[in-house]
Amino acid sequence: MTKMIGQRAIASLLSLLGLMILVFFLSRLTGDPAVLFLPIDATEEMKQQFRALHGLDLPLIEQFARYVWDLLHFDFGESLRKARPAIDVVLEAYAWTLPLALITMGLVITTAIVLGSLAAFNVGGFFDRLVSIVSLVGASAPDFWIAIVAIVVFSIGLGWVPTSGVGTPLHWVLPIAVLFIRPFGLVVQVVRGSMLSALGAPYVKTARAKGVKNLPLIFVHTLRNGMLPVITVIGDQAAALLNGAVIVETIFGFPGVGKLMIDSILQRDFNVVLAAIMVTAVAIFIMNILIDLAYGLLDPRIRH
Amino acid sequence: MSEPLLSVKNLSVDFHTARGTVHAVKNVSWSISRGETLAILGESGSGKSVSANAVMNLLDIPPAEIVSGEIIYEGKDLLKVDYETHRALNGKKIAMIFQDPLGHLNPVYTVGWQIVEMMTAHGRPADMARARALELIKRVGIPEPEKAMGKYPHQFSGGQRQRLMIAMALMLKPDILIADEPTTALDVTIQAEVLALLKELQAETGMALVLITHDLGVVAEIADRVVVMNKGEIVEAGLTREVYHNPKHAYTRKLIDAAPGKGEIKLLDPAAPLLLDAKKLNKTYGSFAALKDVSLTLARGQSLAVVGESGSGKSTLARTLLRLEEADSGEALWKGRDLITMGRSELLGVRRQIQMVFQDPTQSLNPRMSVYQLIAEGWDIHKLMPDKSKRRAKVIELLEQVGLSAEHVDRYPHQFSGGQRQRIAIARALALEPELIICDEAVSALDVSIQAQVIALLDDLRQRLGISFLFIAHDLGVVRDFADTVIVMKSGEIVERGPTAQIFEAPQHPYTQRLLAANLDPDPDVQAERRASLTHG
Amino acid sequence: MLLKPILVGALLASTTIAPALAQADTDITVVLSEELDLVEPCMATRSNIGRVILQNISETLTELDVRGDKGLMPRLAESWEDKGDGTWQFKLREGVKFSDGTDFDANDVKHSFDRVFSDQITCESKRYFADTALTFNVVDDHTIDIKAEPAQPVLPLLMSLVTIVPSETPMEFVRDPIGTGPYKLTDWTAGQQIVLDRRDDYWGEQPEVTKATYVFRSEPAVRAAMVEAGEADIAPQITAEVATNPATDFSYLNSETVYLRIDNQDAPTNDIRVRKAMNAAIDREAFIGTVLPEGTELAVAMVPPTTLGWNAELSPLAYDPEQAKKWLEEAKADGVDTSLPIEIIARTENFPNVTEVAEALTQMLTDVGFNATLRMVEVAEHEQYYSRPYPESEGTRLVLAQHDNSRGDPVFSMFFKYDSQGTQSGVNDPKVDDLIARASAATGDERAALWSELFKYVHDDIVADVLLFHMVGLSRVSERLDFTPTIATNQQLQLSEIGFK
Amino acid sequence: MADLSIAKPAPETARGPNLFSMLWRDKLAFVAAVVLLLIVLFALFGPSLLGDLATKQNLRGRNFPPFSFERGWEFFLGGDSLGRPMLARMIVAAHSTILIAAGTVLSAMVVGAGLGLVAGYMGKTTSQVIMRLADVIMSFPSLLIAVVVLYVLGPSIPNMILVLAITRIPIYLRTTRAEVLEVRERMFVQAATVMGASHARIILRHILPVVAPTLVTIATLDFAFVMLAESSLSFLGIGVQPPDITWGLMVAQGRPYLNTAWWLAFWPGLMIVITALSLNLLSNWMRVALDPAQRWRLETRKTKNV
């Protein structure tokens, strides 16, 4: 196990390095941050000063060497726009993204598993069709559209929840609900499909021959097997959430890493972009390890 | 005979498909009494499992539909009781074990948990269930029962898994045990052990045993009575001995006649030129030695059988000779050239001369290619028959050679039966006019009647075209009918070799002797004799 | 090693209690469109920073009156006079204390300017002194002489753009700005909110608002909804589509001017008839009340009407597609290739409905026979086309841009947009250069007259560009507030101007 | 397995089941197929037939409400913020929408499946390199790709396809690789090796056809995903830019009018939902129809209500 994690860590480190190099140079193709930081009528001298202050006037390769050198000292550089260490900015945002992603994913997993399994057991029936259609429609609507309609209906119309922002638990309801829809739609479909084939497996026949009741048949005998393909999809969806939810964060004024990322990209705040990418990559790496562990936990054949 | 414990009366079940309704079983009736063993014998597609599944409420409805009939147990019609009542009977009164215990045991739970669940699912306390489970695991002969409880299905051997299934089925001392092909995937020696175990347990508990099988040998070994099924109908029923010795129905006769191991033993032509000379082949996977210093020779027109149980290395031998695996050491001279070290381009030429027929034609034929494409592919690869207009005629010729006809040319594998598919695979091998065909369990997946036909076909090809065969098999009867020389392998080593007659009539090595002893004879009297000699000896 | 701060942060984040829902009657919440990167006084001319800082936390020496017509008013400077030779003397207000308790004096003024000119930080306000060297002479604690070379006639006006910080302020961006204003920064939680609390020791009149919380939402609909739901009190920059409630939604000229910048050197736009045709092709009136809010005015100059030298005689070129076609025909007859591609460059999110405006403009140009296409770009790319050096193109490009001048004097606009050396200028005309130079150096009525002449020359004589609209801003203000947004709301939001009903 | 084999009808007489009749039997899938066909027709012929109608502006007649024939059929679904007919615009927008989605899915599938085939079939080193590459792409924020491409190459439909395709490649790559790892161990692949088939032949003739149905299923689902992703990019202002027009862009542009003129964002949003829904239904059907083990579910529907 430790060996596996070690190998994964090395492989991921390589990917991370590749990612960093790619992002570093590609982002610098996208223009001059000085132009965006300073007002349109700023003088060339001011722009020059800004570049010099942030080392942007150096040859690209030297900038890169400096960046890597600093990185080796766990220094992710300063945010060009916020005049603060980029890593602080990112971690602050990540402290919002992480619980949002975890809560959403937790809800997605539990509801999708229960509803998807029941739908599979009742394949072709009314409940199955209902779950399918509702999840499909939900997953096919543009999320910003849902978000704005949700605000109009639930905050202004009904006044149940605040429109946006963070603070009380009530503030989290709408962002989580909107974020929930798409992964739920996907995962519930996969659960249903996977449970469908798992319910056809020979060991289910054995269980039926043993006289096992329906609920344990679904949720004890079949689910653990049916979860294996689901975990991969859950991993993909969780990874997407860990990358930050740009749209939802933008609309609900949720100070997560997705909004930070898009703002930093648009403003060419290179250090923040790089730091954000690396932090999310580490988070996703940890999650992948957890997924692997989950596989082992669920399936003894992988463990041994 | 006392009042039957369970009787199936006039059961008819249909399967609905887009192409129409298939009558899976028609008016099937059988019954069984306490302490009795009934065998339901039939080939694939005969509907032999359907009635048992109906008893257990395991039919998928739809596509299945029970058209008529009743299943009487303890005075109740099981087809009419509600779901909950039926569920409570399953496992408790009527238990079932299956072929392929690996698939039928839940891979993600320990066997202990699964065995215990048989009792807890029926409301018994867990500690009691655990004690009973330990007792039974010990009874069915699993070493270290405590430890075994905590292990997962994949950590056991095939025979052990079936023993565990049996233990699970017996947890609640059921009245009836239904065993659906319980020994089919097992090696002969293991099969004998499992059948013996079933018999012992039956004697201990007095339960009734319904055994569903395609194997006459199994019937001969264990059954008191037999019903023979063909195409959904019972064609014959009666005491096992009577049915074997005095079959009334033509199908039963055909089945008995097709049983292998009764033909004339072939002799090797000593003058045939040497084709393949393999010396000291070795192959290891990690620390496991699959081949240990294996040497063999094969002459033109010879049919050499390699016999052994699973894990003996016989398949690895074939794969190594075909360069599907790289040997660690040794050489294999094909007409004087070493196959093991041969370069790519030379190998391509040799590949034409050595063809292979695999065990399962369903898997060895690409499901997305038509028969024509399958057979003609070799010509594309080896740039033969450049005149494409002639190919079709040649394909038809080949099909006719293996007993198929021109109308089959554009069909796809799934539209054929198992035996027909294996013929297609043979036609594909013949298309390249090979000098050696390696058959890896080429007939073991086939029904006996078809098995006999395919063996006859291969033998015909050997004689007419002078093709050599390396014939890998675990079924001794088939080997006896086909091979002129036999090699017996065990744990990667050759333990005995010699002409077929010598191996079968005067085996030297104890392992060979054991193999032959475990091989079931379709004649119940022969089997009874053997059993008697074993108990006394 | 990275995980721990995240977990700790997550814990903290999830337990933070919302201040927005429970507040005193005189506390207000302002919902801004974008988060502040910095709360740095010397960046107060950046509009989103200015709305929080300017005159709330940090004050300037002078202040331009935008509500009345009092012109330039004293703030931290009580009076000023031109000592000649480019030197201005400012008398500073006495008894003013910074929020950290220190006294305000002339050295603070000098230090504030030293910061602006420092090469250690990049202060925005530096740009107003691009070609001007300032020297400071502290006469006494409350008198300072500022000498500009060359002489700067609008130096007192420029003083309204530089915020004053205490002399202890370091030469780097600060996160806890200290100022003399009526409010002080008490909380800044990045990504969430900025809180200003009223000071007790402010030198001037005590404002009514005791506490202001700033939050950030980029969706206009959400900002408007927050005021409607009572979660916020002021939402600047909402869109016309959501500004449907006359009781709460105010529109006001916001000092932004939208125009199409024409490169007067490119073919075919180097021909005046082509430029005139462009102007005549556009039905400006059709935009107002449709894709642009009611109240939007047709522009005849780069600066809004409240600016010095405003020329009231100018009127926009009439919408006359037939005439436009005729001009194009004429030009074509003289050998101008009017079929050259004309690419309209517009910036996404530049102003509300920019896409619709750009699409309509393109359509109108196409209708009279221009080979016009539209290209929407994001901000960084827009900058490439907007500022010199302009990229080559097969035909020419028209840049749809928005220019903001709420400073009261055209000097902040005209050089950049029209001088042959101007960064965003498409004009190369010696008379324009001359007029700009003379007007910038002049004072009083002469200055106004020269600007006025320049406006006319650019608009009527050389038809340098397609001036479109003076934009209106829309803000939603809670009904419990007594506050009317003005042209300055674009740049600042003085809490002291807010009252309660 | 004995009982399963009876479920199969007599093999001699069996011809492959007619796909159309299987489609007809699943009414939902059938409707979905018809809807998709209609959308494809819109996409193919919309711009040439309605292109002028869809771009004709009328500022003073903007946001014309729907459900009235007063101004002709093209205004039945209302007019947009520049007075252009919604119905005509939506039909025209089908072109770019489908072009982008199809282009993205196809190019991502071709590249991803190609790399996946190589990664699955070749040795460990090649596979590792390709998989790490996929990891890098996966963690590369798609927004940054979008900004890089838009800044360096400019906003255009091919560039949009490039942006979206890059982000979708790993899905196909990983799926293909996983399938290939399994398929290449199958008997018929070994049978081909024994016959002397080259690597290219084995990959293209034997492995690809087996993997293809899975890829097609994923592609159908991905199609909807791409439409939504494109819409999200439009929302963020870095997506398709006018005068190009897609449903996603229409939703993004109509979003400010949700309160006052709901039809601007609603209809194109509905089109996305309908298309995605149809694709999903069709893909569900395909998953069953292409899987011999599950096909009976469609085949029995004639006689039984499932």
Tens-digit pLDDT profile for residues B263-318: 777 777 777 788 888 889 888 888 888 888 888 888 888 889 998 888 888 888 88
Tens-digit pLDDT profile for residues A145-168: 888 888 888 887 888 888 888 878
Give the chain D residue nearest B63 (alpha carbons): D300
Q: Do chains B and C touch (3 or more CB pairs under 8 A)?
A: no
| Residues B488, B492, B496: CA angle, nearest 5 degrees | 25
Chain D residues within 8 A of C351 when measuring between CB atoms: none
Q: Select from C11, C12, C14 the residue whose CB has the most chain A CBs within 10 Å, as the one to mutate to test that interface.
A: C14
Please check whether residue D152 touches C, CB under 8 A.
no
Q: Select from A145, A178, A250 the residue whose CB has the most chain D CBs within 10 Å, as the one to mutate to test that interface.
A: A145
Write the CB contacts of B316 (distance below 8 Å, at least 6 apart in sequence): B283, B290, B291, B325, B492
Interface contact flag, A29 D148, Cβ < 8 Å: yes
Tokens of B274: 């040497």
Nearest to D139 by CA among A18, A177, C489: A18
Q: What CATH topology corresponds to A92-269? A: MetI-like fold (1.10.3720)
Find chains touching chain D: ≥3 CB pairs under 8 Å: A, B, C
Please check whether residue A277 touches D, CB under 8 A.
yes
Please check whether residue A15 touches D, CB under 8 A.
yes
| Residues A45, A46, A49: CA angle, nearest 5 degrees | 90
Structural domain spans, chain B? 274-521
Q: How far is Cα B500 from Cα B497, in angstroms, rounded to an integer?
A: 9
pLDDT beneath 50, residues of chain D? 1-16, 300-306
Tokens of C130: 């691009």
Residue type, C34: E
Instruction: Quote the pLDDT of residue C469.
Output: 94
Instruction: Evaluate whether residue D269 is within a structural domain.
Output: yes
Nearest to A247 by CA among D162, D103, D100, C222: C222
pLDDT reading at B60 higher than 50: yes
CA A55, chain centre distance (Å): 32
Instruction: Evaluate whether residue D226 is within a structural domain.
Output: yes
Tokens of D54: 């869809």
Residue type, B295: S
- Chain A closest-CA separation from residue D43 CA (Å): 20
Residue type, D123: G
Count of B-D CB contacts under 8 Å:
136
- The stretch A125-151 carries a mean pLDDT of 83
Please check whether residue C189 touches D, CB under 8 A.
no
Write the CB contacts of C151 (distance below 8 Å, at least 6 apart in sequence): C85, C86, C441
How many CB atoms are located within 10 Å of the residue D21 CB?
12
Instruction: Quote the pLDDT of residue B19.
Output: 60
Instruction: Quote the pLDDT of residue D18.
Output: 65
Instruction: Quote the pLDDT of residue B416.
Output: 80
- The stretch B471-483 carries a mean pLDDT of 85
Tens-digit pLDDT profile for residues A180-197: 988 898 888 888 888 888
Q: How many separate domains does chain D show?
A: 1
Interface contact flag, A41 C423, Cβ < 8 Å: yes
Nearest to B418 by CA among B397, B444, B440: B444
Interface contact flag, D59 C242, Cβ < 8 Å: no
8 A C-beta contact, residue B447 and residue B364:
no
Interface contact flag, A148 D231, Cβ < 8 Å: no
Find chains touching chain A: ≥3 CB pairs under 8 Å: B, C, D
Q: In what order do the strands lie in the sheet with C143-149?
A: C77-84, C87-92, C143-149, C133-140
Instruction: Quote the pLDDT of residue B452.
Output: 82
Chain A residues within 8 A of B100 when measuring between CB atoms: 202
Interface contact flag, A304 B106, Cβ < 8 Å: no
pLDDT band at residue B22 using 50, 70 and 90 as cut-offs? confident
Cβ contacts of C478-483, under 8 Å, gap ≥ 24: C478/C28, C478/C227, C478/C230, C478/C232, C478/C233, C478/C234, C478/C248, C479/C247, C479/C248, C480/C233, C481/C28, C481/C233, C481/C234, C483/C234
The DSSP symbol for A151 reads I
Q: How far is Cα C198 from Cα D161, in angstroms, rounded to an integer?
A: 53
Structural domain spans, chain A? 92-269
- Chain D closest-CA separation from residue A45 CA (Å): 25
Residues of D with CB under 8 A from a CB of A: 128, 132-133, 135-136, 138-141, 143-144, 147-148, 151-152, 224, 228, 231-232, 235-236, 238, 248, 251-252, 255, 258-259, 265, 269, 272-273, 275-277, 280-281, 284, 287, 293-294, 297, 306
Q: Do chains B and D touch (3 or more CB pairs under 8 A)?
A: yes
What is the end-to-end Cα distance of chain A in Å, rounded? Answer: 10
Chain A residues within 8 A of B113 when measuring between CB atoms: none
Residue-number span of the structural domain to which D274 is assigned: 83-280
Q: Return residues 204-263 of D near B (CB < 8 Å).
A: 205-206, 209-210
Select from D144, D151, D287 the Cβ nearest to the Cβ of A23: D144
Q: How far is Cα B43 from Cα B216, in angstroms, rounded to an integer?
A: 10
Cis peptide upstream of residue B510 (ω within 30 degrees of 0): no
Strand B485-490 relative to strand B493-499, pairing:
antiparallel
**Burial of D16 from C-beta contacts in 10 A (0-12 / 13-18 / 19+):** exposed
Instruction: Quote the pLDDT of residue B430.
Output: 86
Q: What is the CATH number of the domain that holds D265?
A: 1.10.3720.10
8 A C-beta contact, residue A288 and residue A99:
no
ipTM higher than threshold 0.90: no
Q: Return residues 31-60 of D near C (CB < 8 Å).
A: 55, 57, 59-60
- Chain A closest-CA separation from residue D233 CA (Å): 9
Q: What's this model's pTM, rounded to 2 decimal places?
A: 0.81
Nearest to C192 by CA among C6, C14, C11, C7: C14
Chain D residues within 8 A of A149 when measuring between CB atoms: 258
Instruction: Quote the pLDDT of residue A154.
Output: 86
Kindly calculate the radius of gyration of chain B based on its CA atoms and give it in whole angstroms: 25
Instruction: Quote the pLDDT of residue C8.
Output: 45
Chain B residues within 8 A of A210 when measuring between CB atoms: 90-91, 95, 117-118, 121, 168
Tokens of C177: 């700005």
Q: How far is Cα B416 from Cα B404, in angstroms, rounded to an integer?
A: 11
Select from D154, D237, D259 the Cβ nearest to the Cβ of C242: D259
- Chain D closest-CA separation from residue A144 CA (Å): 7
Chain A residues within 8 A of C222 when measuring between CB atoms: 148, 151, 163-164, 251-253
Select from D141, D231, D281 the Cβ nearest to the Cβ of A142: D231
DSSP B382-425: HT----HHHHHHHHHHHHHHTT--GGGTT--GGGS-HHHHHHHH
Instruction: Evaluate whether residue D205 is within a structural domain.
Output: yes
What does chain C come to in residues?
501
CATH 3.40.50.300 fits B274-521, yes or no: yes
Chain B residues within 8 A of A213 when measuring between CB atoms: 87, 121
- Chain D closest-CA separation from residue C227 CA (Å): 15
Q: Select from A210, A213, A228 the residue whose CB has the most chain B CBs within 10 Å, as the one to mutate to test that interface.
A: A210
Q: Do chains B and A touch (3 or more CB pairs under 8 A)?
A: yes
- Chain A closest-CA separation from residue C46 CA (Å): 8
How many CB atoms are located within 10 Å of the residue B20 CB?
14
As averages over each run of 10 residues, the pLDDT of chain C (501 residues) reads: 44 40 75 89 88 92 81 90 90 92 92 90 85 89 90 88 92 90 91 91 91 90 88 88 86 89 89 92 90 89 89 89 92 90 90 89 91 86 87 89 87 90 90 92 89 93 92 91 84 89 82
Residue type, B67: V
